[in-house]
A and B are shown apart, each in its own frame.
Chain A
Amino acid sequence: MGKADFLSELRRALSSRLPEEELSDALAYYEEYFAEAGEDREEAVLQELGSPAAVAAKVLEDRGDAPPVPKKSPSRPKELVLWGVGILMACGVLAAVLLALLPLGPEEGAPLYGVIAGSEGFSDDLMDMEAIHRLEIDLPAAEVLIAPETEGTGLYVERWGEPNPNLYYDVENGTLRLWTEAWEEDAEPSGGTVYLYLPRTLVWADINLDRGFLSVHGLEVQDLDVTIGQGDAALEQLATGTLEAEVGTGTLYLDHVRGGTLKGSVTRLGDQGGLEEHTPEALVEGDGTALVLEHCGAGVLELRCQAGDVAASGTFPGTVSLEAPQGSVYFSTTLARMDYQISRSGGSELLVYQDVEGGGSNYSGGDRWDLQVQAKTAAYLHFAA
């Protein structure tokens, strides 16, 4: 094989896989390379380069950088892309309860008694989860675990409202609602655990817990709104147009969450967070970090922790706003083309700052620190109260 054959085979191997500009760029490089080496070295260069296919693979392999951030498309949630692998893996907690699943009938406003599978009072009809596109949960005290339907079936409730059942649900126009009603005056709010297995794609979900624990994973939700008064939320492997999560006292943990806009806020770190056994280990063992993002991505990122630390890592090519007036901020990003605005408390000290100076940065004084990164590069910074 000569140089011409090599180049035409390389073109063929890459042509359907690369945009025109990149294709011609790559070919020009190798063409120039042969020219520089001269005819004397052509054989040697061919030997060293290896097959065109191998060279093509190298060129393609290196393109696997950060995936694009999904665009918000309100009327067509299915366009959202769910990144990340391992979605199909059932998490241990959920897997354990699959054995005891109880499919429920879609009765309007049916009370859910605090029982486990096999108890009387439940219909054996399968709830038509396919018909559910929206989710509204408003509960005083609960653990709510939401997973895609590949991991289970329907709605399963455990231990609720003893002695008085007070959990209700209905499905209307594609919206599944779960709520409680009037327990006796002065009675302790009864609580329990809800396992929900939903279609992977939802238009919106609005989840409100006064106290408890929330886990959501493996879904695409156009608009996800989470409010927890006291407790923890773990949101994992989600794709979302807009996510707004607010925790009063507790922790907020996001892992592999991609969104157009991610907003998270924690007022303060709780003693134990919410229900201890489900709290992500990282938070239990943590050093006061109340708000954690790992492997996330967002066009717009806004995080605020009134009292406690914020830690965020991922791909944030857009606007970033981080606030921890009484705590520390740990922030690391790849693919940065942005203006960061990071508020810090009055006396806090910047501990580490590297890899971004050349991109242009400045400390504007006062309690606001502006960082500009001109191009895709790595940024890492940390300042502590």
Chain B
Amino acid sequence: MKGFRRYLVLFLLLAIPILLISSNGWAQSKVVKIGFIGPLTGPNAAQGVGARNAFDLAIREANASGKYPFKFEMVALDDASDPATGVAAALKLVSDPAVAAASGHWNSPVALATIHIFHTYRIPFIVWGAIHPDITGFYKYPGVNRVAPTLVQENGPLCDWVIGELGYKSISIISDTSSYGEMNLKAFRPMAEAKGAKILSVDSVTVGTTDFRPILTKVKGLNPDGLYFGGVVMEGALIRDQMEKVGLKKLFFAISGIKDDKFLEVAGPSGEGVLTIKPGRPIDKLEGGTRFVRAYEGAGYREPFGAYGPNAYDSAGIIIEAISKTGAEDKAAISKYIRGIKYKGLMGETSFDATGQTTNVMVSRFVGQAGKWVTWEESEYHKGARQLPK
């Protein structure tokens, strides 16, 4: 008898937490889980953790607003910037029946590995940070969308600006032979020609080359209005510097790969009047940006939200709106709703094209001025105090 009582006490002690958990469940409305994957550890952890915090903030705000018949819950998993780890995380999400949708990845190789899983299991998925064009443009999965502009899309605003607004019509192109350079070349050329520019020459250079004088001397003979460079910092800076050295005093403009202080350091005085762009806008220039920053700080996250925080925040917002409209059960309906969405969020109005790629391409424009990158609108070049080479 004594033994039985002891068992009873033990049983009750064990039962209390179970009862507490289940009663808690009963008291709340239905729980809908939303997956988040990103590099939470490893070399890119700063990007992943900041994005996760912003994602979490959007979900907390949705729950606190009381507008939704669900309780949203974030399931944050780590991909460690590693495709294999990312795939394991994706499989974990898709095998949880409570997960209605997910968002993920800063690293393109990881995203390229996991989107097939989300597609196979028909879980709606939004890429918040990876920028490789193939993630949407090549696979075109109906359930996979992306809120981050690809590196190729940046060429559009650059063309609009330099060729459309500033009127540089004859262009020579140099790009590097990496896949980044080749994709830029493939994207820029038709965009520039559609804007009415004439492409005088196209050259590609291997990364690590230090002497560009032969090409630049050739380009000088063609006398273009401007030189477009699709590549990264070091080659860009050396080309810019050697343009001066061979007497090619023309406009140099390039894709965001060169937007780094190192470029101006290496290019030295020749960095003056170089035009480039960078995706995204400073947070204080976004509508609702200050509110977001205040809410983020108020929520007590220790890490900064980083460059992709706004992307993750809107990504969560899009998923929440879709689920609230279609319910959490019909995954195909959620995917369909997201593809057709016109979402007014932190980054402005986001909608997706037929491949699932965001059409909301925000870029900031920069010009090299006195050894610094200055936003175009605030620069002396825009105000007319300094002149771009013509």
Q: Is the A/B pair a real complex?
A: no
| B-binding residues in A (CB < 8 A) | none
